[in-house]
Amino acid sequence: MLTASDLAVACLTPLSTCDWPGQLVATVFLQGCPLACTYCHNPLLIDPRARGTVPWADVADLLERRHGLLDGVVFSGGEPTRQHALRAAMVEVRSLGYRVGLHTAGTYPTRLAQVLDLVDWVGLDIKSVPRLYRAQTGVDAWAKAIASLRAVQRSGVAFQVRTTVDPTVQAPEDVAELTELLCGLGVEEHVLQEARPDGTTEEYREALRATSSGARG
């Protein structure tokens, strides 16, 4: 049986005020992601074969010491639902008295549905309109993202749907179309974030510079 120690943890942020709106959290970044977003600011987290670098004992130790100072733990990535030990880790976090947040791009809707009973808040990234999904992420993952949205909506767990707007792939009208599509699917608030150059590839930074200087075709 898997335990929290089976998780491949790539990085641990002991305190974040922005990973879960309104909550003080520790954020656990899990290794591995099936997508390859153009703007990924931590491409080292993508490789699913890479080992974790932070033992789960370090996470548990931090949580033991931060009682009363933290509200919860956010599992982020990478794609946290890729790892089967996620549920065991969430159980442990809850048993320590913390709330659980989850960042996901919804690429594993069945696995997501299997952990939602342990989750208090989901930040669900929907990357683009369907026709641009592959250009944005390398994978046609729209249907899975929407299956995940449906699972979250059915669960009654609080959630936020977010999109990182990448001007090298999406024009303003594509983003407006996505907001409209999501509205039709019952999403009341679609949060837009700007793609940032930090941590991205040189090629992407160059493409971003070109669009911001008005060179987009």
Give the residues lining the site for ligand SF4 (CB under 6 A): 33, 35-37, 40, 45-46, 77-79, 105
Give the nearer residue to ligand SF4 in terms of CB position, either 63 or 112: 112
CB 28 within 8 A of CB 9: yes
Task: Say which residues have a Cβ less than 8 Å from residue 198's Cβ, sequence separation at least 6.
Answer: 41
Quote the least distance from Cβ 163 to ligand SF4, whole Å: 12
- 77 vs 101, which CB is nearer to ligand SF4? 77
Using the minimum distance from each CB to ligand SF4, give the nearer residue, 79 or 92. Answer: 79
Please give the backbone phi and psi of residue 134, each rounded to the nearest 5 degrees, phi first. -65, -40
The contacts of residue 152 (CB under 8 Å, 6+ apart) are: 112, 116, 122, 124, 159
Give me the least distance between CB of 139 and ligand SF4, in Å please.
9
The CB-of-10 to ligand SF4 minimum distance in angstroms stands at 10
- Is the CB of 30 or the CB of 59 nearer to ligand SF4? 30
**Residue 124 near residue 152, CB atoms below 8 Å:** yes
Please, what is the minimum distance in Å from the beta carbon of residue 66 to ligand SF4? Answer: 25
DSSP 8-class letter at 54:
B
Closest approach of Cβ 141 to ligand SF4, in Å? Answer: 9
Question: Are 63 and 15 in contact, with CB atoms under 8 Å apart?
Answer: no
Q: Which is nearer to ligand SF4, 10 or 115 (CB)?
A: 10
Query: Contact 85/52 with Cβ under 8 angstroms?
Result: no
